[in-house]
């Protein structure tokens, strides 16, 4: 199966960010993407989905994946059918910028942590946290400490 790029068209690595603010890939992954094998691409996609799920599940529960998928299709939003339902919820939030009022009708339940936030504020919190965990992953596994930092 061919793995397509996770790019969402909002690349910030061209401005020097080590982690893209759009798709959350690392700069070297974006540069080398077309040279990656399909298993390497799949590993990147899996990491993104795992980190994304950690954040989304703090604020939202997907109680009806079929309804979430129907909403994505109805609004013409891009999503990856092979991704977990938490990724679908994230895609719905990202592309609507959180402008969602009828959560239950879309098959989504807000957790207590999300109760005090309106849709756009919730999207901003999720977006920032997902970027923060992606940056932390990059720092932990890819940034080499300087020799005098021992």
In this prediction, residue 57 carries a pLDDT of 97
Provide the residue ranges of all domains of the chain, joining segments of one domain with +: 13-137
CA neighbor of 126 nearest in space, from 71, 51, 56, 75: 56
Distances in Å between the Cα of 61 and the Cα atoms of 12, 37, 87, 110 are 29, 33, 11, 6
In this prediction, residue 55 carries a pLDDT of 98
CA neighbor of 130 nearest in space, from 3, 6, 2: 6
* CA–CA distance, 30 with 41 (Å, rounded to integer): 10
Give the burial class of 26: count Cβ atoms within 10 A of its Cβ; 0-12 exposed, 13-18 middle, 19 or more buried: buried
The pTM score is: 0.89
In this prediction, residue 147 carries a pLDDT of 63
In this prediction, residue 150 carries a pLDDT of 54
* CA–CA distance, 65 with 84 (Å, rounded to integer): 9
- With beta carbons less than 8 A apart as the criterion, state whether 92 and 54 touch: no
- Residues of the chain predicted below pLDDT 50: none
Q: What is the DSSP letter of 4?
A: P
């Amino acid at each position: 199966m061919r793995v397509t790029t996770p790019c969402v068209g909002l690349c910030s690595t061209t401005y020097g960010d080590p982690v893209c603010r759009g798709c959350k890939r690392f700069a070297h992954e974006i540069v080398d993407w077309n040279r990656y094998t399909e298993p390497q691409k799949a590993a990147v996609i899996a990491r993104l989905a795992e980190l994304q799920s950690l954040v989304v599940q703090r604020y939202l529960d997907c109680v009806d994946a079929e309804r979430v998928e129907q909403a994505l299709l109805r609004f013409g939003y891009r999503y990856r059918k092979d991704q977990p339902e938490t990724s679908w919820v994230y895609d719905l939030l990202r592309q609507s910028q959180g402008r969602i009022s009828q959560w239950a009708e879309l098959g989504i339940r807000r957790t207590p942590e999300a109760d005090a936030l309106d849709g756009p504020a919730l999207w901003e919190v999720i977006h920032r946290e997902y970027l923060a965990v992606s940056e932390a992953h990059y720092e932990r596994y890819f940034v080499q400490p300087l020799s005098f930092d021992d």
